[in-house]
Structure 1
Amino acid sequence: MRLIFKSFALPFLLVLSLLVAVLMFLFDVAGWLLSLTSGVLALIAVGLFVLQHQPVGGVAFLVLAFLLSPYGLPAIAEFIISALDGLNYSLRRFITG
């Protein structure tokens, strides 16, 4: 009976392994681009505070910069990828065990 479950789990393991690898690559590339964009948005926010005297626009750009920084949306994406990798590891242990 376990052999049947293991044979059903093998395609999921293969797809999940490929998915995690692709997501890690995309996460690295997107993380670099989002960090660069976050820095630009932070500079725009400082410009709005100092040069234009528009605190509402500055705060809005700072919030956007935080969401694009490594502590915002990329942290959530990293958590999801880590959970998928944990599921992948569990399936590997089930199949080899």
Structure 2
Amino acid sequence: MKIIGKIIAIPFMIVLTLFGAMTRFLFCFASSILTVISGILGLLAIAMFVTGCMLNNCIWVMVFAFLLSPFGIQAIAEWLIDGVNGISNRLRFYIMD
């Protein structure tokens, strides 16, 4: 009965491994671009504040810059990718056992 479970788990493990590798590659590429955009938006928000633009606009630009930074949406995406890789590794250990 255990061998049937392993046979069923093999395709899921392969798909999750490929999906994890593909999303990790895309994440690394997008992360570098989003970090640069975040820095530009942070500098823009500081410039808007110094020049006397409306404070409300400066805050929204800074919030958007934070969301694009490695501490915002990128951290959530990395956590999800690590979860997919963790499930793939658990399936791999189950198959090898």
- TM-score interval for Structure 1 and Structure 2 normalised by the shorter chain: over 0.9
Q: Give, in angstroms, the shift of residue 67 of structure 1.
A: 0.3
Which secondary structure state, in structure 1, belongs to the residue aligned with residue 91 of structure 2? helix
Q: Give, in angstroms, the shift of residue 52 of structure 1.
A: 3.3
- The equivalent residue for 1:54 is 54
Q: Distance between the aligned counterparts of 1:31 and 1:75, measured in 2?
A: 10
- The equivalent residue for 2:77 is 77
Q: Give, in angstroms, the shift of residue 31 of structure 1.
A: 0.5
AA at the equivalent of 1:63:
V
* Superposition misfits of 4+ residues, deviation over 3 angstroms: none
- The equivalent residue for 1:19 is 19
Q: What is the Cα-based RMSD across aligned positions, in Å?
A: 0.7
| TM-score, with length taken from structure 2 | 0.97
| TM-score, with length taken from structure 1 | 0.97
Gaps of 5+ in 2: none
Task: Provide the identity percentage.
Answer: 40
Q: Which moved more, 1:48-57 or 1:87-96?
A: 48-57
Gaps of 5+ in 1: none
AA at the equivalent of 2:74:
P
Q: Distance between the aligned counterparts of 1:59 and 1:78, measured in 2?
A: 26
Say whether 1:39 aligns with 2:36: no
RCO comparison, higher one (Cα < 8 Å, 6+): 2
